[in-house]
A and B are shown apart, each in its own frame.
Chain A
Amino acid sequence: MSRLNPIYILALIGTFLIITIFMVSGKKNELNEVTSSFNTINQNGKIYNEYKNNWFDKKDVSNRIDRIIKNSMFRNEKILKSETNNLVKIKIESANQRVLSQFLNKILNEKFIIKKLELQKTYISLEIGYK
């Protein structure tokens, strides 16, 4: 003799099924959120890394400035460089406008934070910041 109606068992299994559907749905939403967060962090990390290394890294900026100053094109020109904690001041004097133009191009093509810039017929004076 069986008293337990199978429809109750079916209802119980159905309830489990609904619970698992909600569980999967909830976990899927969590996964979507964490995926989106991961993608954002990964993308921001790349941008952060690129900016920090190229624009705001004191050592790297200083090295690149030195490379320009020591370039053979400007070997015969009068170049003054003074450095503080936060910035570098550079002045190049030349009667040759072509040399001054090349120097300016090299500076502007680099990823430097130019705080001040003065162009005259015979010299270029500029301040490059680290922050």
Chain B
Amino acid sequence: MTLVSTKGTKKVFLTSNTKFNEIKNTKIELIVSPEFYWVRKFEIPVKTETQARHVLPTLFEDIVNENESLTYQVIKLEDNLFLCFAFNNKKIYEAIKKAMIPTSSIQALYFAQNECKEFNSFEVDNQKFMYTSDNILIKVPNNLLTETMDLNRVINSIKLSSFKLQIKLYNDVFNSKYYYSFYVIFGLLIVFNLVKYFSFNNEFSRLEEETQRVKQAYKLPASTIQTDAILKRYKGVVSQEVQKRDAISYILSNKKFNLKSLELDKNSINLEYLSADKNEVDNYLKREFKNVSSVVNSFVLKVSIKI
């Protein structure tokens, strides 16, 4: 079957032979051929359609092999009597794609079982269909029916029911159970991350406040650069003072030499020894100091040290 682009809503009977060339701005209501679903009347001792739907996988088990991938729908006919449908979502979706019908133009899908009741038998896309004695629409071999009506001629006059196919118009990569598991896992991870983020944020704010408090408590300069510069100077001065004390302590610790005087000025120390052996004094001092110079001047040994 070929449709040329028109505006408005079109009704299309979907069979395995359906083919479209072009559809523009056309909304389509698809009537799905019995090829794509199983339908049975079952007597089920329950009151509601929802309760009936729960037992359908077991009831269809004897008729269909591929139970796991089926979707079930139910219409209540009488008390305890239900018209039950089972269909493979993927097969219908693939048939739609094969027919080259864009899913965005599909308005709704219907079971042919419920929509073609006014015709006992009909023909679409070289396939023939008829209702059985218990009102079930079935596809029949072409040679079984001789004179049949072409449904496409009257299809747009069909008044569609409110019972639509609950189909998913996309390829299911995973079972929907897995999707829910993924949603839950991802959701929990997002919540966990957000909790962590806000916890880090609080800790961040607390540390910033604490930093300001510490700066005030120690009366630190406003900028880190200033603090670092002052600390560098302080450390340099203190280090020099320690060096001076170490030097004085080393010089005074030797009682063997007769030290007459010691003068410390900035980083240099001038010493005067009385009656001391120049080499001995030099050797002793050079063990501790790198820059030592000495001169003997009338019994007085004058030594200069740079620290």
CA of A121 to CA of B171, assembled, Å:
105
Determine if B189 is an interface residue (Cβ-Cβ < 8 Å).
yes
8 Å CB contact of A23 from B106, B197, B218, B219: B197
Quick check: B214 and A114 within 8 Å, CB to CB? no
Please indicate the chain B residues that have their CB under 8 angstroms from the CB of A111 in the complex. Answer: 238, 241
B240 (CB) vs chain A CBs: closest residue? A113
B217 to chain A: which residues have CB within 8 Å? 45
Q: Does B135 reach chain A (CB closer than 8 Å)? A: no
Whether a CB of chain B sits under 8 angstroms from the CB of A116 is yes
Stretch at the interface among B76-84, B126-134, B180-188: B180-188
Known interface pairs A3-B170, A51-B238, A118-B263. Does A41 touch B211 (Cβ–Cβ under 8 Å)?
yes
Residue pair A51, B234 in contact (C-beta under 8 Å): yes
Question: Which residues of A sit under 8 angstroms from B183, Cβ to Cβ?
Answer: 9-10, 13
Rounded to whole angstroms, the CA-CA distance of A108 and B244 in the bound complex is 9
A5 at the interface (CB under 8 A from B): yes
The count of residues in chain B whose C-beta lies closer than 8 Å to any C-beta of chain A is 63
Q: Is A27 interfacial (CB-CB < 8 Å)?
A: yes
Chain B proximity of A26: nearest CB distance (Å)? 9
- How long is the Cα–Cα vector from A52 to B227 in the complex, in angstroms? 12
Inter-chain CA distance A69–B253, complex, in Å, is: 25
* Contact code string B188-208 (vs A, CB < 8 Å = 1, else 0): 011001101100110110011
Q: Is A5 a contact of B190 with CB atoms below 8 Å?
A: no
- Give B79 Cβ to nearest chain A Cβ, in Å: 30
CB pair B227 A44 closer than 8 Å: yes
Q: A13 vs B176: C-alpha distance in the bound complex, in angstroms?
A: 16
B140 located at the interface, meaning its Cβ lies under 8 Å from any Cβ of chain A in the complex: no
CA A84 to CA B234, docked complex, whole Å = 21
Expressed in whole angstroms, the minimum distance between the Cβ of A87 and any Cβ of chain B is 13
CA distance A94 to B218 in the complex (A): 43
In the bound complex, how far is the Cα of B265 from the Cα of A49, in angstroms? 28
CB-CB under 8 A from B224, the residues of chain A are 41
A-B contact count (CB 8 A): 150
Q: Give the segment of B13-21, B54-62, B141-149, B161-169 that binds chain A.
A: B161-169
- Write out the residue numbers on chain A whose beta carbons fall within 8 Å of the beta carbon of B108: 1
Partner pick for A24 among B165, B193, B220, B261, CB 8 A cutoff:
B193
| A47:B231 contact, CB within 8 angstroms | yes
Q: Contact residues of B with A, CB < 8 Å? A: 103-104, 106, 108-109, 164-171, 173-174, 176, 179, 182-183, 186-187, 189-190, 193-194, 196-197, 200-201, 203-204, 207-208, 210-211, 214-215, 217-220, 224, 227-228, 230-231, 234-235, 237-238, 241, 244-245, 248-249, 259-266
CB distance from B93 to the nearest CB of A (A): 11
Q: Are A14 and B186 in contact (CB under 8 A)?
A: yes
For the complex formed, measure the closest distance between the CB of A29 and the CB atoms of chain B, giving whole angstroms: 10
What 1/0 mask marks residues of chain A from 103 to 129 whose CB sits below 8 Å from any chain B CB? 000001001111111111100000000
A34 at the interface (CB under 8 A from B): yes
Asked, given contacts A1-B106, A56-B234, whether A24 binds B215 with beta carbons under 8 Å apart, the answer is no
CB distance from A2 to the nearest CB of B (A): 5
In the complex, chain A residues 1-51 whose Cβ is within 8 Å of any chain B Cβ? 1-7, 9-10, 13-14, 16-17, 20-21, 23-24, 27-28, 30-31, 34-35, 37-38, 41-42, 44-49, 51
Instruction: Please indicate the chain B residues that have their CB under 8 angstroms from the CB of A45 in the complex.
Output: 214-215, 217-218, 220
Given A27-B204, A41-B215, A48-B230, verify A117-B263 contact (CB < 8 Å).
yes
Judge whether A10 and B182 touch: CB under 8 Å: yes
Query: What is the chain A residue whose CB lies nearest that of B205?
Result: A34
Known contacts A17-B193, A20-B193, A23-B197; 6 additional CB pairs below 8 A are A16-B186, A23-B193, A31-B207, A44-B231, A114-B264, A116-B266
